[in-house]
Amino acid sequence: MKKGILAVSFGTSHIDTMEKTIDVLEKEFAKTFEEAVVYRAFTSNMIIKKLKRTANIKVQTVGEALEKMAADGIEEVIVQPTHVINGIENDQMKADALSFRDRFSSIVFGNPLLTTEEDNQAIVRVVADEFRDMDPDTALVLMGHGTEHYANTVYAALDYRFKDTGHKNIFLGTVEAYPALDSLLRAADSFHPKKIVLAPFMIVAGDHAQNDLAGANPDSWMNRLSSEGYEVTPVLKGLGEYPQVRQILVEHVQQAMNASI
């Protein structure tokens, strides 16, 4: 049967970070799974419209992409999200995709980046390895997105796991939920770092990274931390730029394929 992989991302209007993350990941899917055709969909209608308006780039919604896959004769669909957690976007994406179940022989879903205990262990190792040369007196502050969905608990759990595995200088918070920056400020104060490195805990270094994390506005994390007297260095590198992170998602595709047999 003709297989297709639908790579589903929230999306970004920042083409530079998209080229370093989503584009590279989809190419790795195509290279690893030569028997499948790779398609793209974004879940953010706002980003889809902005890309069309500002860059004349057409990205399909999940429904549009599945319509195209059906028209192309795809019979087996593997939907692989690049979402970090099983939150609201992922729930809605699944509902949208399952409305097409009668159009294909099968639709199976790969897991978001952080789904299993093994995923959580792996991401701690990946981040710690990425910043292994950082001075131990420097704190690494990671900005996740955050959500009102119950899956948001993964952020606090990972923050604890960093400390529990010996990385006392790594702090993980969110821009839209808990732990928020105020919680991280209290934790950072108790650690007494000489310097702080800021980095996004998101697949792309898009709007949140460039504005909420390192923007010029007074409420950005960089300026809030600077106002507390810390020397702050932002590193605008999305998780999708880390080869080990992309490998986790490649493995999730393989697991979904294995489950469909």
pLDDT confidence of residue 190: 85
Q: What is the mean pLDDT of residues 48-66?
A: 97
Asked if 221 contacts 200 with a C-beta cutoff of 8 angstroms, the reply is: no
**Of 259 and 128, the one with more pLDDT:** 128
Q: What is the mean pLDDT of residues 28-56?
A: 97
Three-class SS of residue 22? helix
Show Cβ contacts of residue 4 under 8 Å, excluding neighbours closer than 6 positions: 36, 37, 38, 39, 69, 72, 74, 76, 77, 78
Tokens standing for 136? 């131990």
pLDDT confidence of residue 131: 97
The pLDDT tens digits of the residues spanning 191-245 come to 889 899 999 999 999 999 999 999 999 999 999 999 999 999 999 999 999 999 9
pLDDT confidence of residue 189: 82
Whether residue 261 is predicted with pLDDT greater than 80 in this model: the reply is no
Whether residue 81 is predicted with pLDDT greater than 70 in this model: the reply is yes
Whether residue 1 is predicted with pLDDT greater than 90 in this model: the reply is no
pLDDT confidence of residue 259: 86
pLDDT confidence of residue 181: 94
Q: Tell me the catalytic residues.
A: 145
Q: What crossing angle do the helices spanning 117-130 and 153-164 adopt, rounded to 10°?
A: 60
CA gap 99, 174 in Å, rounded: 32
Q: What is the mean pLDDT of residues 125-136?
A: 95
Q: What is the mean pLDDT of residues 112-122?
A: 97
Give the mean pLDDT of the chain: 96
The pLDDT tens digits of the residues spanning 231-249 come to 999 999 999 999 999 999 9
**If pLDDT is split at 50, 70 and 90, which confidence band does 188 have?**
confident
